[in-house]
Amino acid sequence: MIKFLIAGVLRDRSRSLFPILTVFIGTAITVLMAGYIGGVMPDMIRMSAHLDAGHVKVTSQGYFEDRTQMPLDMALEDAEEIIVRLENQFPDMMWKARTRFGGLLDIPDENGETKAQTTVSALAADLITPGSTELDYLKIRSSIQNGSLPSDAFDIIISQSMAESYGLAIGDRVTLMSSTINGSMSFQNFRIAGTVVFGVTALDKGGAIFTDIEGARMSLDMEGGSTEILGFFKDDEYTGERAQIVTNWINSNMSVEGDPYSPIAFRFEDVNEFAAMMQWAGAFIFIISGVFIAIMFIVLWNSGLMNGLRRYGEVGLRLAIGEAKGHVYRSMLVESTLIGTIGTIFGTILGLFFVYLLQEYGVDISGMGISDTGNGIYYPDVIRGKIIPACFYIGFVPGIIAPFLGALVSGRGIYKRQTASLFKELET
Partner 1 sequence: MTEVKLIHAHDLVKAYPVADREFVALKNISLEIGKGEFTGLVGPSGSGKTTLLNVIGSLDIPSSGSVTVLDSKIEALTHKQAAQLRNLHIGFIFQTYNLLPVYTVAENVEFPLLLLGKSTDERKDMVAEALEWVGLTEKAEMRPAQLSGGESQRVAIARAMVKKPALVLADEPTANLDAKNSHHILQTMEKLNAELDTTFLFATHDEKVMQYMKRIISLEDGEVVKDEIK
What are the residues binding partner 1 (CB under 8 A)?
Answer: 1, 4, 7-8, 11-12, 15, 313-314, 316-327, 418-420, 423, 426-428
- 15 vs 386 by CB, closer to partner 1: 15
Q: In whole angstroms, how close is the CB of 375 to partner 1 at the nearest point?
A: 58
Q: In whole angstroms, how close is the CB of 407 to partner 1 at the nearest point?
A: 17
Instruction: Tell me if residue 100 falls in helix, strand or coil.
Output: strand
Q: Angle at the Cα of 352 (from 293 to 349), degrees rounded to 5?
A: 75
Is residue 156 within 8 A of residue 210, CB to CB? The reply is yes
- 88 vs 428 by CB, closer to partner 1: 428
Q: In whole angstroms, how close is the CB of 306 to partner 1 at the nearest point?
A: 17
Is residue 339 within 8 A of residue 23, CB to CB? The reply is yes
- 8-state DSSP, 361: T
Sign of CA dihedral 351, 354, 360, 365: negative
Q: In whole angstroms, how close is the CB of 359 to partner 1 at the nearest point?
A: 41
Considering only CA atoms, which of 268, 260, 230, 243 is closest in space to residue 378? 268
Instruction: Tell me if residue 13 falls in helix, strand or coil.
Output: helix
- 324 vs 370 by CB, closer to partner 1: 324
- 123 vs 332 by CB, closer to partner 1: 332
Q: In whole angstroms, how close is the CB of 425 to partner 1 at the nearest point?
A: 9
In the structure, how many helices (H) and strands (E) does the chain have? 18, 12
Other CB atoms within a 10 A radius of the CB of residue 367 amount to: 9
Q: In whole angstroms, how close is the CB of 4 to partner 1 at the nearest point?
A: 6
The span from the CA of 227 to the CA of 63, in Å, is: 8
- 203 vs 407 by CB, closer to partner 1: 407
Q: In whole angstroms, how close is the CB of 419 to partner 1 at the nearest point?
A: 5
The span from the CA of 156 to the CA of 101, in Å, is: 14
CA distances from 297 to 23, 44, 311, 341, 409 (A): 10, 33, 20, 15, 9
The span from the CA of 311 to the CA of 308, in Å, is: 5
- 184 vs 418 by CB, closer to partner 1: 418
- 226 vs 331 by CB, closer to partner 1: 331
- 2 vs 287 by CB, closer to partner 1: 2
Considering only CA atoms, which of 147, 121, 148, 128 is closest in space to residue 203? 121
- 61 vs 303 by CB, closer to partner 1: 303
The span from the CA of 261 to the CA of 61, in Å, is: 6
Q: In whole angstroms, how close is the CB of 308 to partner 1 at the nearest point?
A: 15
- 260 vs 313 by CB, closer to partner 1: 313
Q: In whole angstroms, how close is the CB of 355 to partner 1 at the nearest point?
A: 36
The span from the CA of 272 to the CA of 68, in Å, is: 11
Q: In whole angstroms, how close is the CB of 427 to partner 1 at the nearest point?
A: 6
For the chain, the farthest-separated pair of C-alpha atoms sits apart, in whole angstroms, at 106
**Phi and psi based region of residue 82 (left: phi greater than 0; alpha: psi -120 to 50; beta: remaining):** alpha
- 15 vs 139 by CB, closer to partner 1: 15
Torsion of CA 208, 214, 219, 220, to 10 degrees: 80
Q: In whole angstroms, how close is the CB of 322 to partner 1 at the nearest point?
A: 3
The span from the CA of 254 to the CA of 244, in Å, is: 15
What separation, in Å, do the N-terminal and C-terminal C-alpha atoms of the chain show? 28
The span from the CA of 167 to the CA of 247, in Å, is: 46
